[in-house]
Amino acid sequence: MPPPSELLIEPSRDVLDAARAWLARVRPVLGNEFLGAYITGSALTQGFNPKRSDVNLLVVARSLGGELLERIAAAVPRPSRPPHVSPRFLTRAQIEKSLDSFPLEFLDMQEGHLLLEGENIFAGLAVPRTYLRLQCERELRTKLIQLRQTFLLERDTRALAATLASVASSFAALFRTLLRLRGETIPAHTARVFEKVSDIYGLQGEGLLGAYAMRHEEKRPAADVVRSRYLAFLAELERLVGALDRLQVQ
């Protein structure tokens, strides 16, 4: 079992209402194929802003054949005002057969989900740890290369700011797993996840928080601040990859 998270928050009434209204349109189409629906991800953490982030909704079914997909597609509500629902459809078999391929993603869902309707399929999942460190290292190395390449080729500072802001959520998921690898309790607030990774892995916290700050600040910082934050984030990310490469996981 993963180490416990600090208490996950109850989603706001607007988030719950949006998720339930979305599910009410799709659930009848699934009929007996429906197994469960779950809110996952940042909507269950402190600091969630529905104007900036979508509500992740996982729908699990027994099967998702072509005819059923056509009916689901016709029933899926079109986006309106926030909070927006971002759905993901999976079958139980897909989940069970993918635990070794995507251990990071399914550990994150197992630890942070809210059952809206149906059965809790996560209760009985055994997510293997064998490839967790390797998956984290591979993804971090890939993201580091991509972010460095963007900095070298992108002259528009606004685009750099948008790039850094856009990766905050994916890094938060990675960082939660890095804390799991060290047996640490996972903070509910995303900013604390970044800070705790900095503490545990011996990094400079302000530099690693650059992506989070860029995503959540209301006012866009000046061009020189954007470039400075971007470079500081790259530097701490490179140090983190080195620390992870040396980490021994039992």
pLDDT by residue for the chain (250 residues), tens only, comes to 444 444 467 888 999 999 999 999 999 999 999 999 999 988 888 778 888 889 999 999 999 999 999 999 999 998 778 899 999 999 999 999 998 888 888 888 888 899 999 999 998 888 877 778 888 899 999 999 999 999 999 999 999 999 999 999 889 889 988 998 888 888 878 899 999 999 999 999 999 999 999 988 878 899 999 999 999 999 999 999 999 888 876 5
How far apart are alpha carbons 172 and 249 in whole angstroms? 20
Residue 249, pLDDT score:
67
- Residue 194: the pLDDT is 94
Count other Cβ atoms within 10 Å, centred on residue 245: 11
Q: Is the pTM of this model over 0.85?
A: no
**What pLDDT does residue 129 have?**
72
Domain 13-124 has CATH 3.40.50.920: no
Q: Are 18 and 85 in contact (CB under 8 A)?
A: yes
The reported pLDDT for the residue numbered 171 is: 93
Find tokens 């545990």 and name the residue.
200
The token pair at 38 is: 């779950």
First and final CA of the chain: distance in angstroms? 14
113 beta partners: 40
Question: How confident is the model at residue 96, as a pLDDT?
Answer: 93
Segments of the chain assigned E as strands? 34-40, 55-61, 85-91, 113-118
State the Cα–Cα distance between residues 230 and 161, nearest whole angstrom. Answer: 8
| Number of alpha carbons in the 13 Å side-chain half-sphere of residue 138 | 8
Is 108:38 a contact under the CB 8 Å cutoff? no
For residue 22, the model assigns a pLDDT of 96
Closest CA to 56 of 45, 70, 68, 69: 45
pLDDT value for 250: 59
Task: Output the six-digit token pair for 53.
Answer: 């982030």
